[in-house]
Structure 1
């Protein structure tokens, strides 16, 4: 009877050892290779697409900003996000809104997200900082976008994720050009 149990015990021990090796390997891969990393968001181009003004009424001025943001996904999984909205604020007041269409950022790839926003000066004039900023020839805006979606690794591991990005935008009125600095973070 002891001889019939010995192969069963050996089989159970080998199976347990293999199972432990597989679990340790999977955990190691998850915390090293598949550990979610922050995407790098950079402004690829920020252009002043149009600028129109009425010489007799400066409040009848508006401009359109073309924004293209590059998102570099360093993860071994893709990120599929839903439709969203990008907001442009001027000293806390929302002055423009732009839609961001749903899309997918491939694993270890780069993706460009582009949109245009129309800013009407009438919405800025009521802000107490407007006259001071016009005196320095620079209007400072902040653009914020939140992308909600799912991060997928090897089509097996799926995790909900939200990407937050914020860009500080400076519009130089007389020069009619724009500069920006962007930062981002991901929450899983």
Structure 2
């Protein structure tokens, strides 16, 4: 009698088990890969949001400064320059046009309101003021503009000016101002920010230049 041929399962009873184990291992490997991909995506997204928050969404204070021709000279011109250097009755009347700038370091527009700059002689006597008109500085740019100020010694005792002229032929001035406004980033966030400008300078009455300008 001829022998009955054996079936594959009879030849290897563990073949089906090995196949199921292989499939299970493959599924485990796929799950691990999926987990790694998801974890990498989460880390990447966290890094992106962190960089986004530390750069684009971080709001910095703008800077309000005088514009320099070449240090230490301020970009300013004089339409009127009348100075009397008498021993007992010194005075001055000066119309100055100066160039200023609002530097916006943010990734969003900075809109600021009207403001004024006050000028003082020897940090004591107010001798003039200038108007800073409302405007805006674009993202990461500097808005430049000119202001006109009439400097007059009306409120300064003439003997004080005469004493200064005898010491050195200059007009020592200080100026101070605060610009207030809002930084708007991607129309998602608005934050109030202000910038102060405090400067000291000397007007040389011989050369008609501004010297020794420092701002903070």
Alignment match of 2:177 (pick from 142, 145, 153): 145
Distance 1:55 1:183 in 2: 28
Q: What TM-score do you get using the length of structure 2 for normalisation?
A: 0.65
Q: Describe the superposition over 1:5-59 as per-residue Cα deviations: whole angstroms up to 9, x where unpaired.
A: xxxxxxxxxxxxx899767744542223332345453424122221125688955
Alignment match of 1:87 (pick from 118, 132, 154): 118
Alignment pair present for 1:70 and 2:94: no
Please identify which structure carries the higher strand content.
1
Which residue is 1:35 aligned to? 58
Distance 2:80 2:141 in 1: 32
Structure 1: gaps spanning 5 or more residues:
1-17
Distance 1:182 1:26 in 2: 39
Summarize the Cα distance change of 1:149–1:123 in structure 2 as closer, same or farther, 3 Å threshold: same
Which residue is 2:80 aligned to? 50
Cα deviation for residue 73 of structure 1 reads 2.0
Q: Could you say what secondary structure the match of 2:207 adopts?
A: coil
Cα deviation for residue 109 of structure 1 reads 1.3
Matches within 5 A, 1:149-160: 149-160=181-192
Distance 1:27 1:157 in 2: 17
Q: Which moved more, 1:51-60 or 1:163-172?
A: 51-60
Distance 1:154 1:164 in 2: 25
Q: What TM-score do you get using the length of structure 1 for normalisation?
A: 0.73
Contact 2:178 2:197 in 1 (8 A): yes
- Give the structure with higher Rg (CA): 2
